Amino acid sequence: MFKWFGKVNFSPYTKVTDFADHLKDGRLMGSKCKKCGQESFPPRADCNNCLSGDFEFIEFSGKAKLLSYTVIHAAPTGFEDVVPYTIGVVDLKETGRLLAWIGDTIPDKDIKIGMDLQVVPQVFDELEEIKVYYSLEKPGTAWSKA
């Protein structure tokens, strides 16, 4: 259920709703158009190449390279309790990009544009409801529930 995705979720209903279920089980999924084969991340149900609406999820390795990052000090509503937090944008090994928090395995002083990172599925343990996300960690960091 896509409403599980993110600390604050703004779009609970989507055609790629199973993405969050996979993430909860430790898998990072992109999409592949069944007609023309175009792969995407973030996953998308409708192909902007051939206009087909027929897609499947494919598992991504999570291997990534840092394109840019920032430490957020002034937070929007719903994120005040976690400041400061660092977000990074990465190029994924397979295709596409992803934006996520840079996790605890990377000290702030070690963050460098161009560094290798691993996208790791995560669950907010302290929350009662199911909340999943992914973070950017040191290469080799495994999914904690594995």
Partner 1 sequence: MARVGIIGIGHGQFGRRSDATVQELAFEAYREAVQDAQIDPKDLDGSVIGSVPEYHKQRSLPGVVQEYLGLNPLPTWLTEVACASGSAAIRTAWMGIQSGAHKLMAVIGCQKMTELSTPEILALMGRVGEVQWESVFGTTFPAYYALFAKSHMHEYGTTREQLLQVAVKNHFYGARNPNALFRKEITMEKAMESEPVSDPLQVYDCCANADGAACVILASEEIAKKSSKPVVWLDGLGCATASMSVLRRPNLVGLPSAEQASHVAYEMAGVTAKDIKVAEVHDCFTIAEIMAYEDLGFCKKGEGGRFIEEKQSYLEGRTPVNIDGGLKSKGHPIGATGVSMTVEVVKQLRGEAGERQVPNADIGLTHNVGGIGQYCFVHVLRRD
Q: Identify residue 131 by its one-letter amino acid code.
A: K
If one asks whether residue 80 binds partner 1 (CB under 8 A), the answer comes out as: yes
In the complex with partner 1, which residue's Cβ is closer, 79 or 116?
Answer: 79
Residue by residue, DSSP assigns 40-87 as ESS--SS-TTT----EEEEE---EEEEEEEEEE-SPPTT-GGG-SEEE
| Residue in the block written with tokens 């973070």 | 135
Percentages of the chain per state (helix, strand, coil), in multiples of 5: 10, 35, 55
Q: Are 92 and 146 in contact (CB under 8 A)?
A: no
- Work out how close the CB of 50 gets to partner 1 at its nearest, in angstroms, rounded to a whole number: 18
Partners of residue 31 on adjacent β-strands: 40, 57
> Which region among 24-32, 55-63, 67-75, 121-129 touches partner 1 (by CB under 8 A)?
67-75
For the window 1-40, what string marks contact with Zn ion as x by the rule CB under 5 A? --------------------------------x-xx-x--
In the complex with partner 1, which residue's Cβ is closer, 60 or 101?
Answer: 101
Q: Which of residues 19-38 bind partner 1 (CB under 8 A)?
A: none
Residues that bind partner 1 (CB under 8 A): 5-11, 14, 42, 67-80, 82, 84-85, 87, 89, 96-101, 113, 133
